[in-house]
Each structure stands twice: as C-alpha cells, then as structure tokens.
Amino acid sequence: MKRFISITIFATMTFCSGWCQTVSYMPGESVNYSVHYGPINAGIASLEIKQATYKGMQVWHTKLFGKTTGMADALFKVVDIYESYIDPETELPVFTIRNIREGRYRKYNEVIFDHKTRADSAILTSDLTGVHIVQKGMHDILSCFYHFRDNIMPDKKELIEGEIITINTWFTDELYPVRLKYVKKEEVKTKLGKIMCYKFNPVTETGRLFKTDEDVSFWFSADKNYLPVKIRFDIFVGAFTVEMTNYEGLAYPVEIKNK
C-alpha cells in the first residue's frame, strides 16, 4: 500500500523546468491536481519546475508535492515530496530526494547520479544503500516522464495501439522500469473543459492491489505539451482519480474545448 500511494502521488506530478530552450516544457511550468477516492475529495498534488544550482551547476529543479485532505487526512495522513535536480543538457538526474510520510511510515532517501565517470555505466550513490553500478541513461521517477514528454512523444509521428514504451528508472532505491502501453486517443472531461488526450496503461503487476495489468491509466494532452491531464487507479478497494485543476507557464497553449 505504501508503494501504491507513492506511485499515485509521483505519477500525478511529473514536471521539470529549464534554463535553456526546451520543446515540450519550459521554466516556470506548474500544474495543480485534485485527488479523489470515488466521490470523496482525498487530496491535492502539485508539480513545479524552477531554475536552480546544484554544486555550482545550473540545473532544473523539479518538485512533486502531494498530501491527503479532509476525511482521508484524518484516516491516513500522507505527505509525500519528491525532488529531482536535472542536467538540462542531457535531461538526466544528478540528484534526487524522496521524502515521504504515509501514516506512521517515514522514509527519507537521497541519491546522487554520476553519469560521467564511467563510459559504459552510471554510478548511483544512495544515503541508505550505498553505491550501485547501473546502465547508462538511468532516470529517476520524475526525470523519466520529462524524458517521455520531450524526447519520446515528439518523435512518435504515429502511435500504434498496444505499443509499449520502456524507460529504465531508479525508484525506492532499486531498478524500476516504467513501461507505458499506448491504448488510444480520447477526449477527457476536466474542470477546465474537454481535452483530447493520448491514453496509456502503465504495465502493472497483478496481485494484492491490481486485478489486471491495465488497472492504471494515464492521459497525456494530445498537443505539443504532452501534459499529464488525468490518472486513474482501479484497485481492489475502489478507484483513485487524479485530475488537473489548473496550470501556468506551459510551453504551448492547451487545446481545450468549452465545457
């Protein structure tokens, strides 16, 4: 359950910002979301991208914040923060922070990413588990979605139903491949209006939480932003929905139909 809540929140907020020209996102981009459990307002989430400096290096500082509200907060308090410092030239992370509170559970983890020392691999140094040698081009859970928006989606002149896109990431101090299966293009109703989106199903493991490997759905705007508009999690105890409520600082206008 702890991992599910973490994924729910991080998946909601996948953004970054830069000090150089970008394609699908830009410095100052921020988005807010509401989280619902069935008809119940269960929480809020936000994504923001700012210019920053890490050890003298100009970077993109991306931050994902999510928390429970109202009744959900009284029953099971969640405050999760994910941060990623990204090299704007490679869009790869150099430093990441995971700081979560879920009920009585606490976890704080820092990971340093070294993509330059070794020619054939990357060196990851975790304050909890030490040094790990992993393959080149390793992302963290935030940077992988910016990579998806800025490098993979713009190159897809035509999406094929059933096609699976895989991005290797480091999450919860272990290798965690993110696999997104394209489903179809469809219109999504939001508080801002109707937005045409690309629907993807992250390939999930069935068992304790999910009945099938298609019980999680992402909708990305079908424009040049490829903005995460909506996420839905169908689990054994019900459905969680994360919906965009407002945004600012996007690289391109969002194509919205009137309500």
Using 50, 70 and 90 to split pLDDT, how confident is the model at 5?
Answer: very low
Q: Which residues pair with 84 in a beta bridge?
A: 62, 96
pLDDT confidence tier of residue 158, bands split at 50, 70 and 90: confident
pLDDT digits (tens, 9 = 90+) for 78-116: 999 999 999 999 999 999 999 999 999 999 999 999 999
For 121-150, write each residue's pLDDT tens digit.
999 999 999 999 999 999 999 999 899 999
**Domains identified in the chain, total number:** 1
- The whole-chain average pLDDT of the chain stands at 87
pLDDT of 211 higher than 80: no
pTM of the entire predicted model? 0.85
**pLDDT at residue 192 above 80?**
yes
The pLDDT assigned to 206 comes to: 52
User: Within a 10 A sphere around the Cβ of 213, how many other Cβ atoms?
Assistant: 14
Q: How many percent of the chain have pLDDT more than 90?
A: 71
Q: Which strand ranges, in their side-by-side order, compose the sheet holding 139-140?
A: 139-140, 169-171, 174-175
Q: How confident is the model at residue 159 (pLDDT cuts 50, 70, 90)?
A: confident
- What's the average model confidence in pLDDT over 197-223? 76
Q: Judge whether residue 171 has pLDDT over 80.
A: yes
Are 55 and 64 in contact, with CB atoms under 8 Å apart?
no
- Give the Å distances, CA to CA, from 244 to 31, 34, 61, 87, 192: 7, 7, 21, 27, 8
Confidence of residue 237 (pLDDT cuts 50, 70, 90): low
pLDDT tens for 41-57 read 999 999 999 999 999 99
Residues spanned by the domain of 140 = 2-257
Q: What is the 3-state secondary structure (H, E, C) of the chain?
A: CHHHHHHHHHHHCCCCCCCCCCCCCCCCCEEEEEEEECCEEEEEEEEEEEEEEECCEEEEEEEEEEEECHHHHHHCCEEEEEEEEEECCCCEEEEEEEEEEECCEEEEEEEEEECCCCCCEEEEEECCCEEEEEECCCEECCHHHHHHHHHHHHHCCCCCCCCEEEECEEECCEECCEEEEEEEEEEEEECCEEEEEEEEEECCCCCCCCCCCCCEEEEEECCCCCCEEEEEEEECCEEEEEEEEEEECCCCCCCEECC
